[in-house]
Amino acid sequence: MKRLDLIFSERELQSVIIALEKCGATGYSVTKHVTGKGPNSLVSEDMEFTGLGTNAHVIIFCDDSLIEKLKPILDPILNYYGGVAYVSEATPL
């Protein structure tokens, strides 16, 4: 099975979750309050009170097939708003 890690602004969390559910993901986990830096952005803790918001880290353990379905939906969101998505191998305990 696969593990998909998504890190992007929490402002897009809602649309990413809708995308996940539309593609039939059975589960996902979300960690908020993630800060960081990317080629286009610096996200710091003080952005939380300004309303800009910090990042969310979404982890999805799923079959390879879901990854294929998610790619065309997530790519445009992450390209337009920023964020990263990486896939690795994972096996259930």
11, 13, 19, 61: residue in contact with ligand AMP (rule CB under 6 A): 61
Report the alpha-carbon distance of residue 42 to residue 47 in Å, rounded: 10
Nearer to another protein, 50 or 88 (CB): 50
Does residue 89 belong to the site contacting a copy of itself (CB under 8 A)? yes
- What are 46's two structure tokens? 């003080």
Report the alpha-carbon distance of residue 31 to residue 57 in Å, rounded: 5
Q: Could you list the residues that contact a copy of itself (CB under 8 A)? A: 1, 3-5, 7, 26-39, 45, 55, 57, 59, 61, 67, 70-71, 74-75, 84-93
